[in-house]
């Protein structure tokens, strides 16, 4: 979907369809962030078992992200968006029709693959819409729509859990919403069918994708900041509802606190380019986001006060909100145009590795020392990310 040769109105429509479709998909996924852990607790899951269940969506993407990058490069974003949307409906349906732990795990596995394919496709398409500050704005608005879905999803799930019959009813709600995502994806495919990224050979290969990580400093910096954001999201998203439930808060309050992080991310993302300008560069901004995420997580486990928990959720949301679009821009502009799908796949593979590992790590630490120790340890790990980022960014002026 290259900008040259494409009418401006077509570009705008294509971008709007992609944002609508991904925002709806993330609404489904974040509904499950609240419903799946609570359903697992109802089934008697231990903290370690809970970690395994919430990590399930990231197992197969960890193995298939690089081949999926090649698939998107070969088939183009419209077709792979369509495949991903169908898979999401199937995954949500499995949560509804298959009972017990088997249904939770099977549904999570399929949804994880669907989301991986959709994200690589959408991000690759957007990289062809502009560059520089324009690309920052596109990714800022794209991630804003994702945040809208992430904000509404937990609120909707919490309301359904409280008033419509528990986590099982929330699964039905997610299944219905997945059909809305399917319609949006078909709209997106019609919008982008006139022009997409150039098709390249499928066997442009995993070896060449790994070479990007070795040779590109921009890719390395993007991965550090993206991994840190995934650690923060994993810690805040997977165990935060369980921690809040241990404080005897209602499902609606839990949904509100989880959504507050997404609201902060949504509010800050349209101003990404302005904030980058005020802070004198992308890398200075990304460094600050790491400190926000570290502070927001390190202090979560020391309080049960709802107002303090709101503040910490906002800090994490601001950090994630700025770091994610900037990491996409940096990685897109650090590689040749024909390798963008592959570079984004490398980033998503690293993200899924962290999303898989973070809940397991939290589960182990929580089982051994409780929530306070687990969240403090996550904050310390984020500070290590900040130190490594500072060391690698020295040659960069922006």
Note the pLDDT of residue 210: 59
DSSP state of 194: T
Of 241, 55, 92, the C-alpha closest to 174 is 92
| Structure-block tokens of residue 209 | 């994708």
- Predicted pLDDT at 291: 93
Q: Say what the pLDDT of residue 187 is.
A: 61
The span from the CA of 61 to the CA of 209, in Å, is: 16
Q: What is 165-178 written as a DSSP string?
A: TSHHHHHHHHHHHH
pLDDT in tens, 280-314: 888 889 999 999 999 988 888 787 788 888 899 89
Say what the pLDDT of residue 387 is.
92
Q: Which regions in the chain score pLDDT beneath 70?
A: 1-11, 130, 181, 184-215, 238, 395-398
Answer whether 0.85 is exceeded by the pTM: no
Q: How far apart are the first and last CA of the chain?
A: 27
Asked if 233 contacts 320 with a C-beta cutoff of 8 angstroms, the reply is yes
pLDDT of residue 207: 58
The whole-number pLDDT of residue 185 equals: 60
Structure token digits, residue 258: 């989880």
In angstroms, the CA 340 to CA 324 distance is: 16
The pLDDT value recorded for residue 209 is 58
Q: What is the pLDDT of residue 10?
A: 65
| Residue-level pLDDT at 191 | 52
DSSP character for 9?
H
Closest CA to 351 of 46, 103, 120: 120
Q: What is the pLDDT of residue 73?
A: 76
Task: Please answer whether residues 319 and 229 qualify as being in contact, where contact means their C-beta atoms are separated by less than 8 angstroms.
Answer: yes
Q: Quick check: helix, strand or coil at residue 330?
A: helix
**Contact 158/246 with Cβ under 8 angstroms?**
no
Query: CA of 89: how far to CAs of 35, 72, 74, 169, 375, in Å?
Result: 17, 20, 24, 16, 34
How far is it, in rounded angstroms, from Cα 360 to Cα 106? 18
């Amino acid at each position: 979907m290259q900008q040259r040769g494409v009418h401006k109105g077509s570009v705008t429509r294509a971008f709007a369809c992609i944002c609508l479709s991904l925002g709806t998909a993330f609404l489904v996924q974040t509904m499950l962030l609240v419903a799946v852990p609570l359903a697992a607790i109802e089934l008697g899951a231990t903290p370690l078992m809970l970690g395994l269940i919430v990590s399930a969506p990231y197992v197969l993407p960890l193995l298939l992200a690089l081949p999926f990058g090649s698939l998107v490069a070969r088939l183009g974003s419209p077709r792979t968006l369509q495949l991903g949307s169908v898979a999401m409906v199937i995954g949500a349906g499995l949560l509804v029709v298959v009972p017990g732990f088997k249904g939770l795990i099977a549904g999570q596995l399929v949804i994880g693959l669907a989301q991986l394919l959709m994200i690589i496709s959408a991000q690759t398409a957007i990289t062809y819409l502009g560059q520089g500050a324009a690309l920052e704005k596109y990714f800022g608005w794209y991630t804003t729509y994702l945040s809208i879905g992430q904000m509404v999803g937990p609120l909707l799930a919490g309301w359904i859990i409280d008033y419509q019959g528990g986590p099982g009813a929330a699964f039905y709600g997610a299944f219905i919403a997945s059909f809305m995502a399917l319609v949006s994806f078909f709209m997106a495919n019609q919008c982008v069918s006139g022009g997409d990224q150039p098709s390249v050979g499928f066997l442009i290969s995993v070896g060449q994708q790994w070479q990007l990580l070795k040779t590109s400093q921009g890719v390395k910096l993007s991965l550090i900041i993206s991994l840190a954001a995934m650690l923060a999201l994993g810690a805040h998203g997977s165990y935060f509802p369980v921690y809040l439930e241990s404080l005897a808060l209602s499902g609606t309050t839990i949904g509100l606190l989880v959504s507050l992080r997404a609201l902060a991310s949504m509010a800050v993302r349209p101003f990404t380019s302005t904030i980058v300008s005020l802070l004198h560069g992308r890398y200075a901004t990304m460094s600050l986001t790491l400190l926000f995420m570290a502070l927001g997580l390190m202090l979560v486990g020391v309080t049960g006060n709802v107002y303090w928990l709101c503040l910490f959720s906002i800090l994490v949301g601001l950090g994630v909100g700025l770091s994610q679009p900037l990491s996409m821009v940096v990685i897109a502009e650090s590689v040749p145009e024909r390798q963008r799908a592959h570079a984004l796949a490398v980033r998503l593979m690293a993200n899924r590795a962290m999303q898989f590992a973070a809940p397991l790590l939290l589960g182990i630490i929580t089982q051994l020392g409780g929530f306070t120790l687990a969240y403090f340890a996550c904050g310390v790990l984020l500070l290590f990310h900040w130190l490594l980022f500072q060391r690698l960014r020295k040659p960069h002026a922006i």
